Amino acid sequence: MSTPCEDPSAAVSSASLALAALPGFALSLYFVAKSSAAFCCALSDSVSLSIVPEIPSIFFCTAGSTSSGTAGGDEEYIRMVDALKKTSLQQLDEDNQHQPLYTFPEEVTDKVISDLWAPDRYDPEDIDSALGIRRKPVREVKETPLRDPVIDKYGRSYGLGRRKSSTARVWLYPGTGEFTINKKHIGMHFSSMQERFVVMEPLIHTGILHGYDVFAKVSGGGTTGQSEAMRMALAVAVQRMRPDLRKFVKSEGWLRTDPRRVERKHPGRKKARKSFQWIKR
């Protein structure tokens, strides 16, 4: 460590010359420093070595002072600061790191780290009760057991489906893949390829198209309503014949009846919503 300053008043007076050109906040710092008779000595004794190199050089005395009475004090102060800087740099080179201002025992830091990274040590219910949180109990998801197949004495499963004003009844039984509707082949009853595909969707997507025969009776409505009624009836028959396919058939929405119906005609209108042509005169 360097020796204290011999003439603190000279250093303070030279510091006043350097701070005269600074803004208002620097002048306030000067008046605080002037109140102490040993400003430079207190700085050299109390300031940490790792902080002194960070102090801007504008706050220190310069060698270019024109005052003859303070030239010696300026040179002494510059030598003091240079010595402090060299000593601090050497200390940093030896330590290779800045030492923290506060250190904690290892057992304290280990406990803090273990508490932060081991949340399983705390009971979630205790935390919720402390925070005033009320959670709904988690329901256990139980697997639904498979239903028993519903088959008549002839080995057939029956399904009923409706759509609009159409009604379809289907009987499904093991076979080679024949499809009969009202004692006619499906191609003769439904001329549109799209309507045939709609009817056979439950068999195509479940992969049992060629393993069962279908016998159906359809009445009422048009081809669109009949095809969708057939699809629902066939899906019901499939899940009764093969309960293991019920989950897939239900997820596709084939077991749900479409509640939409044609709206009735209202008085004063040509149809349910359509109005008559309006003539002004």
Divide the 281 residues of the chain into consecutive groups of 10 and give the mean pLDDT of each group. Answer: 48 46 44 45 43 42 43 66 63 53 54 54 66 74 86 96 97 95 95 95 94 96 96 97 95 95 95 93 77
pTM exceeding 0.85: no
- 275 occurs within a structural domain: no
Name the domain boundary from 66, 95, 124. 95
Structure tokens at 78: 């510059």
- CA dihedral defined by 56, 57, 59, 62, rounded to 10 degrees? 180
Residue 167 lies in a domain: yes
CA distances from 105 to 111, 118, 131, 246, 281 (A): 10, 20, 31, 65, 102
Residue 22 and residue 42: Cα distance in Å, rounded?
Answer: 23
Is residue 141 situated within a structural domain? Answer: no
Based on the fold, state whether residues 247 and 161 are members of the same structural domain.
yes
The pLDDT value recorded for residue 260 is 95
Residue 112 lies in a domain: no
Region for 191 from its dihedrals, namely left if φ exceeds 0, alpha if ψ lies in -120 to 50, beta otherwise: alpha
* 172 plus 90 within the same structural domain: no
Q: Examine the fold and report which residue of 70, 95, 120 is the final residue of a domain before the chain moves on.
A: 95
Residue 4 has what pLDDT? 47
Q: Is residue 247 part of a domain?
A: yes
Report d(CA 236, CA 232) in Å as an integer: 6
Range of the domain at 87: 8-95
Assigned domain for 109 exists? no
Cβ distance 164 to 262 under 8 Å?
A: yes
* Predicted pLDDT of residue 17: 44
DSSP 271: S
Asked, for residue 257, whether it belongs to a domain, the answer is no
Secondary structure of the chain: what % helix, strand, coil (to 5)? 45, 10, 45
